[in-house]
Amino acid sequence: MDRRKFLSSGAAFGALALTSGAALADAATFKRFQAALQRDPSLVVYADTVGEKAGEAKVTGRLPADLNGIFYRNGPGRLELGGERYHHLFDGDGFAQRWQIADGKVSHRGRFVATQKFTEESAAGQFLYPTFGTHIARRGIKGNDSLNAANTNLLPFQGRVYALWEGGSATEVDPLTLATVGLKTWTDELKSMPFSAHPKLDPDGGMWNFGALPGADKLVIYRIGANGQMLSHAVIDVPQLAMVHDFVVSARHLIFLVPPYDMVAAEDKSFAEQHHWAGSGASARPLRAIVVSKATLKVRQVFELPPLMVFHFGNAWDDGAATRFDVVLHAGDVLGDLARLMQGERQKNRDQRSDCVHVTLNYATGQASIERMLAASEFPRVMPHVVAQRHRRLALISSSPRKTDVKFDTVNLVDTDNGKADSHLFDAGWQVEEHVLVPRANARSETDGYLVGVAQDTRRAQTVLTVFDASRVSAGPVALARLPYRAPQCFHGNFLQS
């Protein structure tokens, strides 16, 4: 692959986002959010963060003696600067977090990832570069990593830890202090290329990942070995490619869902605003499932599903002449809903049309079928040892139907055979983040372990680590580890067992 030709095609995230014109991050958005926060203190989850965090958590209940390790998490921390506020939740600078669980105690550390963007904007006292959802053009860029927010996931891999983003390189941070080490280049040929925030780990210790390049209609596939070296890569043509955030792997396949957007370049629009929904009306396009063979790194087959939006997958496995997987599908263009949060406007439950579903792709018939599992849910996760294999439990968080607006307040472990959910609903004032499954040593089943996550107690403005017995989620947390402060909400993270 000729990297220079590829980048010059205008496919890079930065090339799509950067245009001439005035900065559109504005004081009005800042003022609207501050006024909304005064009316609704639960919006503190979306408030700005300044400086580092470090402290010991107060544990109530009893931490399991065999639960020891580090829960690495990442999400947007800086949302405001110089009296301006970003327009979209995906824009904030990455705030890496490290929860240490050992000997019945929990400690926490949080630190901003010192990307080029974060460092230069801190010195300037104002936002300089374009982001996913906010058009800013105060300073020119040299490539994707000029814009890298490093704000979506924190991945421990082969003794190193990486802060991941959508449109550029992984950023290495110190596993203990979270100090920024620098950009990771897997090979010189792929330097600064998009590297998704959702890599999938192989049982052999290796990694699969991808980079999406809307505008050039191409996906880059990465296969990285257990030693951290690039084993192979490929570039796949995908017509009408738009935002692809996640993917799923089975034993033989990589599966991508491409939502129906048109990419329409505009000099005064952000990357998100250049996505025009094409899933409505008489000419609505379908959601496409692109199946790539692991053996050849070429497209095997393309399936069509109803015109829906997607962010996150659960797990996939091959079943004879079919591949089956779990995914959360959203009705319509939901990117705008996340933008309204930045102004303090919550999405109403009556508009929340998301379902965690089970999809079957039948290679013989070319047909895809969908079975619904759980409504108003997101962030599906499985036990790490069943990735790419048949699984029977799926962790999800969801929004209670009793609420008038969308706040994730329930954790669930769903039996994928019968659809029944073992669930715990948190009290009013709590907002739940992604939870992950952690197996016990020599686990014999997918409930032989723990469900570990984080929740925000918005009434006290405190962040709490939550631990459930995976076999009895409805019994409530076996332990809560409460920080004496609020840490920024995170999108994704991973548990590294000691």
Q: What is the pLDDT of residues 115-156, one digit of tens each?
A: 999 999 999 999 999 999 999 989 988 899 999 999 999 999
pLDDT of residue 251: 97
Q: Under CATH, which number does the domain 3-497 receive?
A: 2.130.10.10
Alpha carbon 464 to its chain's center: 20
Could you count the other beta carbons within 10 Å of the beta carbon of residue 54? 13
State how far the Cα of 299 lies from the Cα of 253, in Å rounded to an integer. Answer: 10
pLDDT of residue 5: 40
State how far the Cα of 106 lies from the Cα of 452, in Å rounded to an integer. Answer: 13
Q: What is the pLDDT of residues 216-236, one digit of tens each?
A: 999 999 999 999 999 999 999
State how far the Cα of 33 lies from the Cα of 173, in Å rounded to an integer. Answer: 32
Tokens for 59, please give them.
């544990």
Q: Please provide the size of the chain in residues.
A: 498
pLDDT of residue 12: 45
Average pLDDT value for the chain: 92
State how far the Cα of 378 lies from the Cα of 407, in Å rounded to an integer. Answer: 11
pLDDT top residue among 71 and 17: 71
Please, are residues 220 and 193 in contact by the beta-carbon 8 Å criterion?
yes
Q: Nearest-5° angle of CA 368, CA 329, CA 385?
A: 80
Gyration radius of the chain over CA positions: 21
pLDDT at 2 over 70: no
Q: Where are the alpha helices (DSSP H) in 163-204?
A: none
Least confident of 111-120, 324-333, 335-344: 335-344
Please, are residues 414 and 392 in contact by the beta-carbon 8 Å criterion?
no
Residue 340's pLDDT band (cuts 50, 70, 90) = confident
Residue 238's pLDDT band (cuts 50, 70, 90) = very high
pLDDT at 31 over 70: yes
Phi, psi dihedrals of residue 450, rounded to the nearest 5°: -135, 150
pLDDT of residue 352: 53
pLDDT at 81 over 90: yes
Q: What is the pLDDT of residues 172-187, one digit of tens each?
A: 999 999 999 999 999 9
State how far the Cα of 290 lies from the Cα of 410, in Å rounded to an integer. Answer: 32
Task: Identify which of 2, 28, 22, 13 has the alpha carbon closest to the alpha carbon of residue 343.
Answer: 28
User: Considering the chain, what percentage of its residues have pLDDT values greater than 70?
Assistant: 93
DSSP-assigned letters across all residues of 89-150: GGGSEEEEEEEEEETTEEEEEEEE---HHHHHHHHHTS--S--SS----SS--SSGGGS---
pLDDT of residue 202: 87
Q: What is the pLDDT of residues 294-307, one digit of tens each?
A: 999 999 999 999 99
Residue 403's pLDDT band (cuts 50, 70, 90) = low
Cα dihedral 147, 152, 153, 154 sign:
positive
